[in-house]
Every structure is written in C-alpha cells, then in structure tokens.
Structure 1
Amino acid sequence: MGGWVEGDPAGDRRFLDLPAPFELERGGSLPGIRIAYETRGTLAPDGGNAVLVEHALTGDSHVVGAAGPGHPTPGWWGGVVGPGAALDTDRFFVVCANVLGGCQGTTGPSSAAPDGRPWGARFPEVTVGDQVRAEAALADALGVQRFAAVAGGSMGGMRALEWAVRFPGRVAGLFFLASTAVASADQIGTQTTQQAAVRGDPRWRDGDYPLDAPPVDGLDVARRIAHLTYRSAAELEARFGPRLQEDGRFAVASYLQHHGAKLAGRFDAGSYVVLTEAMNTWDVGRGRGGVEAALGRVTARALVAGVDSDRLYPVEQQQRVADALGVPLRLIRSPYGHDGFLVETAVVDALLRELLAG
C-alpha cells in the first residue's frame, strides 16, 4: 500500500486525535478520527494570519518542503508557499491537512479500525462537508477562529468553497481555482469508470485487501484514465502525437503508464475510491436551496480562477461561481489543461498575492 501507515516516518506531519464519535452526513459515524497536518510559519497573537491550503485528490499535507523520510515527493505547491512566495511563511501561518478518507495519516480505509484491522470496505462514505467539519475541528485545536484565506484547486477548491459557505464568519478570503460548485455528469462518469478499474483488479477483494498486497494494477489504470482528463488534448498531441518508441509502444501510452505506476507506489486504492466518490456527491447547493442560494451565504473576499484549457473542470463551471459571487473570472492561459493549476505557479502566485493584498 503506497500511503502512510502507523510506524512509517512521520516527516513533518503532526496529528490531532478527535476521540468523540464523528457523525457523517450520509449516515453512520466514525468512533473517532485522526487528522494529519503540517504547518509553516508562526500564528500571530490575534490568530489573523492563518491560511488554510486545501490539497487535491492525490495530494497530502506536504504542501511545501523537500522529499524525505515520510514524504516520497516534495511539496506539491512549493511555488506559492514559502519565504517570499505569495503564501509567505515569514508572514503567514500556513496550514495544510490530509483530507478525511485519505491515506497520508488522516483516518481513511487503510487506517486501523477499533479492532486493529484496516477499515477497508467497512469505511463509511464521507462527503466534502464531512471533510470540512474535520478541518474546522483542527482549526479550533490550533486556535484559529478565522482564516485570512482558504485556498484550493480541483478537489481542494470544493473544500475551500464549502468552508466559505458553511463557515462564512471564519473565512476572510476565498481562492477558488479550477473546480466546480457541483459535480457534472461528465465528471461523475469519468470517476466511476476509474472506480470500476480499481474494483476490477482481482486483488481488490471487495475493498478488504491486505495492505501488503494492494490492487495496484487497478489503481494504475484508474490513474491513466484520470491523467487523460488532467492534461489537454493539444498538449498531448504536441508532446507525443502518434510517435512510437524504440520498443514499439506509443510514446503517450508509456507516459500514462509512468504516471499510473507512480501513483500506485504512493497512494491507497481504497482512499482513491472513497475520495472520488466524495467528489461525485459534491453539490454545494444541496440542502441550501441550490448553488446560487448557497453561494449567497459567502461573505469572504473572493478570487475565482480557471485554466482556459481545462477539460475536467471547464471554465464555465468557474464562471458560474464567479457570477454568483459577483466577481470576475480570472483565466490562467496554459496548454497543460487541468494540471495548469499546479504547473503555472507564477500566475497562481500572482493571483494569491492580489487576493491577500485586498
């Protein structure tokens, strides 16, 4: 299993244990949860300099920093977090938590249940709202009553928006990037197909696989499907076209295999299924009178941005949020598709500076 398990090096992770039962929006509960998180910088005496950064589907709490024990990859948004960056850690107290249902230290399917065995198939369904309520408990424990900003892209953008709607008094600034207010049929269709690839691996065992024999082949294929939605068709054509390698394989197929194997080496298949399902059920307007009514609750200063070549979360989805919030949509021009929110760090850095300067 490619995620973090008890006994592995903790790296920069810290942990918050919430021993009380945690009730879930879609029914059921967890007897207690653990939240893995990292912080950078120092919290001001008035607590007003805290910024919450929300990771995407296969991200984690290691938003900035080098690879090392406990961290197989370097910080995923190091271009915008750190000394001198938009989220200047000499100025801001930056918080990033691994999401509920994840596999990098926060309670998820690979975590130990009360009987000592991994939760596996017994792990209940979680929602974006559940994940945000867990993060709110972390903020309480850290002494943060109001964030100067909550920022995230993709799945992280969903949580950032949920924060601004659910806890308007706790969010001064909202940075909503390359995401949506409600899952579309296209996104649900893509993600349920990825789930089918995971479940089709014989080692899946209905979700109760041993952690030393995970369904890596299914996760590999799921990631290949996902990666096609993360990059643009124009970029793939320019980089690979129909070119064959010396071994007779299409270059683009080799590229996708590389990314599939890479994820299978650092992530858990059970978390992949749980988190994509949380994304499938995402609708900020559910129980709130619809999307526009829900966004009417937002009081935060908001900056909404999208990537012009994004085919996973096309810009009309960010336009809907921008229109409801009464702000202009900021376009990031990039050939990299959805991954532009991670690749185009100079533009993202400038947008974050603009939001925080307000």
Structure 2
Amino acid sequence: MTADPVTGAWRIGDPPGRRQFVTGPGALALEAGGALPSFTLAYETWGTLNSDASNAILVEHALTGDSHAAGPLEPGHPNAGWWDALIGPGKAFDTDEYFVVVPNVLGGCQGSTGPSSDLDGRPWGSRFPVVTVRDQVASEAVLADHLGIERWAAVAGGSMGGMRALEWAVSLPERVASVLVLASTARASAEQIAWAAPQLHAIRSDPHFHGGDYYSAPSGPAAGLGIARRIAHVTYRSEPELAQRFDRAYQGDEDPLRGGRFAVESYLDHHAAKLVRRFDANSYLVLTESMNTHDVGPPPRGGGGPRG
C-alpha cells in the first residue's frame, strides 16, 4: 500500500483536466476583516451559453466536492463526476438546453485559491484567512461577470453548496431566477456545530499538522483528516440505514474479537482513505468553519482575522 500523501490538493503543475481558471481583478475584501490580495477560481462548464446568457445554471458543490461534477476519472481528476448522473444531454441538468457551471469553492483545494495555494513561493498554510459563505459567493460573482452571466437561470447546491445557493438568493437576488437547495440549511444548528467540533480537533491534534504548515513536511495530517471523515460520514447516514446495510456483520473473515473490524468500520475506513488522497486538511478546516459561522441574512457584527 502506498503512503498517504501530505495533501490531496491539486497543485500547479498537476494535470489541469477539464478545469478552466479565472483570476479576480483585484483584492477580495473579506467579511471577517482584511482581504485576499488576489484569488483564482477553478471551474468547469458543460453545454453552450446562449446569445442572451439566459440559460446558465450554477451548481455548488458540498464540503469535499470540487468542480468535476460530471465526466470520468481522468488525469487531474481523482474521481469521476460526483453528479454525473444528473449533468449531460437529456439528464436533469440537460446540457443540450442549459450551460452548467461548477466552480471549486474559494478556500477549497482543487484549483481555487485556498490554504494549499502558493502565496509568496510557499503555500498559504496557517496564514490563510477566515473566509465565509458570503466571501465565497462574492468570488463566484466575479466568475459570473467573467462569463458574461448577469442572471443565473438557477443556482443549485446541496449541503455546503446549498448554503451558497441560499446566500446567492439573499445577497444577490437580482442575479438569480430560481434556487434549488438540497439537504441544506440557512445556518448551522448547535448540533451541527457540535458534530463539527471533534472533526476539527482530530485534524489539529494530528502530530503531523504542524499548526497548518505541513506542506513541506515528509508526512501530513492524514490520520486526523481520516478521523474527521469517519465522524462526518456517520452524520450523513441514519441509524436505520446503517442497520439495514451492515447490522453487526463482520468485515469478510475478520473477527473483532481478534483485532478485526465490523463491516461498518470497514465502510468508514474506506471513505477516510479515499478522502485523504483527494483533499486537504486545511481546506477541511476552513470550509467547515465557513459553514459553522454562516447565517443567511444581514452579516453579523464583529471582526475576525487570520486562522491560527
């Protein structure tokens, strides 16, 4: 088995795949204070924009998603499209009719500016500032301007993507004709924040985290990120579903009485191993915190600063 990577982030020099890139025209002022001196968003598109740019749909990915919503696994894209069944000719998002745009979120790790991006010859790391859902939507408005889209026919998203879709509708209603929100919320509940807390602690407690500056180290916080993914994945499933799928079955011929695993443990291990090969621990922190602090509506009072 090959060793876990220091980060699963896409880095400059890696195959671009289907990604396109847009760089903001200047600094991006941040809700928590300060600014990003510049930023880049990676994005992918399907279909053709019509003459009056009225057929564009913005699709917003969830926490660990990216711009590769449709298409096969290929160089530059470690997974097949996460909504491949929905985007394409004759599908729910019919690309014979619509122009579908999927950006990688600001703060992410698959081509957009985030903690793994270079700032001054080395990655941002612990110096990356707090970014909020409003900041993410502001950066996506720059993408819309770049593409010549004044008003989206629809903005669709699930989970964290649904939060961004709602924020588009609230903060820029004149630029959104309709919104499709799946499995999401206008703000994180106390229970959601509580479930996030041990995930963040797991990453920060990993001895290879190095305060967020691990990119040049021999090993990264893969163990902590894997634990975070295991905790999160339990919240994505209900107890009846887990009972139906796994019950108390052992994993193959493994015996938990002799160091083996239950089948449900193997399931969590599998998803943890997949994530550490395609995601970045710092982005997991940044994006989780952006969800925790968001509340659709007027921005709260108070300032912020760099993430320590």
Q: Distance in 2 between matches of 1:266 and 1:97?
A: 16
Partner residue in 2 for 1:347: none
* 8 Å Cα contact 2:126/2:211 also seen in 1: yes
For residue 282 of structure 1, the aligned residue among 289, 294, 299 is 294
1:35 to 29, 35, 41: 41
Q: Which has more helix, going by share of residues?
A: 1
CA contact (8 A) 1:181 1:283 kept: yes
Aligned residue in 1 for 2:243: 237
In the alignment, the residues of structure 1 paired with residue 169 and residue 297 of structure 2 have an alpha-carbon distance, to the nearest angstrom, of 13
Q: For the aligned residues, what is the CA RMSD?
A: 1.3
User: SS where residue 27 of structure 1 aligns?
Assistant: coil
Match of 2:268 among 256, 261, 267: 256
Verify: 1:266 aligned to 2:278, yes or no: yes
Tell me the CA shift for residue 52 of structure 1. 0.3
Kindly state the Cα deviation for residue 233 of structure 1 after the two structures are TM-superposed: 0.9
Q: Under a length normalisation based on structure 2, what TM-score does the superposition of the two structures give?
A: 0.91
Q: Is the 8 A contact 2:68 2:80 kept in 1?
A: yes
Contact residue 187 and residue 296 of structure 2 kept, 8 A: yes
Q: Are the equivalent residues in 2 in contact too, given 1:13–1:38 (CA < 8 A)?
A: yes
CA contact (8 A) 2:170 2:297 kept: no
Corresponding residue SS for 1:38: strand
5+ residue gaps, structure 1, are 290-358
Give, in angstroms, the shift of residue 288 of structure 1.
8.2
- List aligned pairs for 1:209-228, cutoff 5 A: 209-210=214-215, 213-228=219-234
> CA offset at residue 272 of structure 1?
0.3
Percent of matched pairs sharing the same residue? 61
Is this contact kept in 2: 1:66–1:73, CA < 8 A? yes
1:142 equivalent in structure 2? 147
How far did residue 278 of structure 1 move? Answer: 0.3
Does the 8 Å contact 1:19/1:31 carry over to 2? no
Partner SS state of residue 215, structure 2:
coil
- Name the SS for the 1:132 alignment partner: helix
Question: For 1:199 and 1:230, how far apart are their aligned partners in 2?
Answer: 22
* 1:80 aligned partner: 86
Q: Distance in 1 between matches of 2:187 and 2:264?
A: 31
AA of the residue aligned to 2:283: S
Query: Partners of 1:214 and 1:264 in 2: how far apart?
Result: 10
Identify the residue that residue 334 of structure 1 maps to in structure 2. Answer: none
Give CA-to-partner distance per residue, 1:159-188, whole Å, 9 cap, x none.
000000111111011101110011101111
Inter-partner Cα distance in structure 1 for 2:47 and 2:299: 37
Count, aligned residues: 288
Aligned-partner residue type, residue 30 of structure 1: L
1:280-331 C-alpha deviation (Å, 9 max, x unpaired): 0010034389xxxxxxxxxxxxxxxxxxxxxxxxxxxxxxxxxxxxxxxxxx
1:122 is matched with: 127
C-alpha distance in 2, partners of 1:78/1:24? 33
Answer yes or no: is the 8 Å Cα contact 2:41–2:104 preserved in 1: yes
Q: Deviations over 1:104-136 (max 9, x none)?
A: 0000000001x1110000000000000000000
C-alpha contact 1:220 1:263 (8 A) present in aligned 2 = yes
Q: Given the alignment, which residue of 213, 221, 226 partners 1:208?
A: 213
User: Could you tell me the TM-score, scaled by structure 1's length?
Assistant: 0.79
Secondary structure of the corresponding residue to residue 46 of structure 1: coil
